[in-house]
C-alpha cells in the first residue's frame, strides 16, 4: 500500500527563490468523501493518482505513470473544472526536499511549501522562509483549491 505523509506551510518570504520550477497541470476525475482521483501532467511526464482521506498528516496514495497523450485527454475531456495550474520548485534544506508550489489562474497569489516525510513524528527542521503550518486546513488541499479557488476566499 502506498502512503503519503506530508506537512504543508505558508511562506514567510521569498528567500527560497532561485530554484528552477516545473509547470504542472492537474485535474480531478473524482473528489468526494476525502478520496480523490487526480490526473497530473508535468511534460513529458504524466500520472494518475488515487488518494484516500487525510488523517493527521498521512493518507493512502497510489500513483501510476500514464501516457502523456492519455493524461492530456483526461484533463481536457473528463476532469472536473477548473484545473489546477502551478509551478513547482524543489528546494533542499537540512536533508529534506521541500516542494514549493506557486499557483496560477484562479489560485494566483497562493504559494505553499510541502515536505514529504517517512514518519508522521519525524522532526522537520524549518527553513527560515517557512511560515505558518496549514497541514490540517482543508482549504489548502489541491482538490479544495479546484472547487474553492484562493481568489474567491473572503478576508473573513
Handedness of CA 73, 144, 116, 33 (dihedral sign): negative
In whole angstroms, what separates CA 16 from the centre of its chain? Answer: 17
Terminal Cα distance for the chain, rounded = 40
Closest listed residue to residue 27, CA positions, set 81, 73, 69: 81
Place of cell 489541491: 142
Active site residue 140: no
Q: Can you state the percent helix, strand and coil of the chain, rounding each to 5?
A: 15, 50, 35
Contacts of 130 (CB under 8 A, 6+ apart): 9, 10, 11, 12, 98, 113
Query: One of 28, 64, 78, 140 is an active-site residue; which one?
Result: 28
Active site residues: 28
Amino acid at each position: 500500500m502506498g502512503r503519503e505523509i506530508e506537512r504543508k506551510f505558508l511562506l514567510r518570504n521569498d528567500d527560497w527563490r532561485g530554484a528552477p520550477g516545473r509547470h504542472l497541470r492537474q485535474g480531478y476525475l473524482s473528489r468526494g468523501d476525502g478520496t480523490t482521483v487526480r490526473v497530473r501532467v508535468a511534460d513529458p511526464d504524466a500520472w494518475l493518482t488515487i488518494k484516500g482521506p487525510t488523517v493527521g498528516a498521512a493518507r493512502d496514495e497510489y500513483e501510476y505513470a500514464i501516457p502523456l497523450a492519455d493524461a492530456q485527454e483526461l484533463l481536457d475531456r473528463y476532469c472536473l473544472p477548473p484545473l489546477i495550474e502551478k509551478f513547482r520548485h524543489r528546494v533542499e534544506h537540512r536533508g529534506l526536499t521541500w516542494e514549493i508550489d506557486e499557483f496560477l489562474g484562479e489560485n494566483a497569489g497562493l504559494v505553499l511549501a510541502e515536505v514529504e516525510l517517512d514518519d508522521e513524528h519525524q522532526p522537520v527542521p524549518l527553513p527560515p522562509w517557512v511560515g505558518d503550518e496549514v497541514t490540517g486546513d482543508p482549504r489548502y488541499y489541491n482538490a479544495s483549491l479546484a472547487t474553492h479557488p484562493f481568489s474567491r476566499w473572503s478576508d473573513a
